[in-house]
Homo-oligomer: A and B are copies of this chain.
Amino acid sequence: MASSKSAEARLVELGIELPPAHAPAGSYVPVRRVGDFAYVSGQGPLIEGCEEPVTGKVGEALDLDQARRAAYLTGLNVLAALRAEVGSLDRVTGLVKLLGFVNAAPGFVRIPEVINGCSDLMQEVFGEDGRHARSAIGVAELPFDIAVEIELIAAVRD
C-alpha cells in the first residue's frame, strides 16, 4: 500500500469521486471541530442519484453484500462531510473512532462484516493513518429507515 501517498491522491487513484456533502437531518451540524479533532455526525448511505438499495432491515430487505455496500456508501458521505469541513482530506492526520449502527432484522448478527464496508474504505483512503477503534451494534430503527448509520472521530490539522 502506497502509504506515502496523500488521502486525496489515493481517492483519485481509486477512482472515487465523493458525493456532495449532505445537509444535516436536524438541529445539528455535519461536523464539529474542536482542537485537533473533528466529530462527524452520524451519516447514512443516501446519495443523490444513486439507486442502490439503502433502506430497510439488513437480513430482510437487504442481504449482507447489499448492507456492506450501504456501509461503503455511508463512508463516502462521512468523507464528504469531513472534506467539506476541513477543506481537504490531506488535513486528516488520523482516524480515531468509528461507531456503526446496523438496522438489523431479528436474528441478524453479522454486524462487523457490514461495517467493514466503511472501515475498509477508510483504510484504502488513509492507509496506516486510517486505523481506528470501532464499535458496531444492531439497532431497532434508524432515521428514514436507512440500513446503516456511522459516526466518526478524526484527528485533523490546519
Q: Chain A: residues with CB nearer than 8 A to chain B?
A: 24-32, 34-36, 39-42, 94-99, 101-102, 104, 106-113, 115-116, 119-120, 123, 131-145, 149, 151, 153, 155
Contact = CB atoms under 8 A, between A and B. Distances in A.
The copy count of this chain in the complex is: 3
A109 B149 contact: no
Contacts of A30: 133
A27 B120 contact: yes
- A136, A149, A151: which has the most chain B beta carbons within 10 Å? A136
Contact of A34 (B94, B104, B151): B94
A142 B137 contact: yes
A113 B141 CA distance: 14
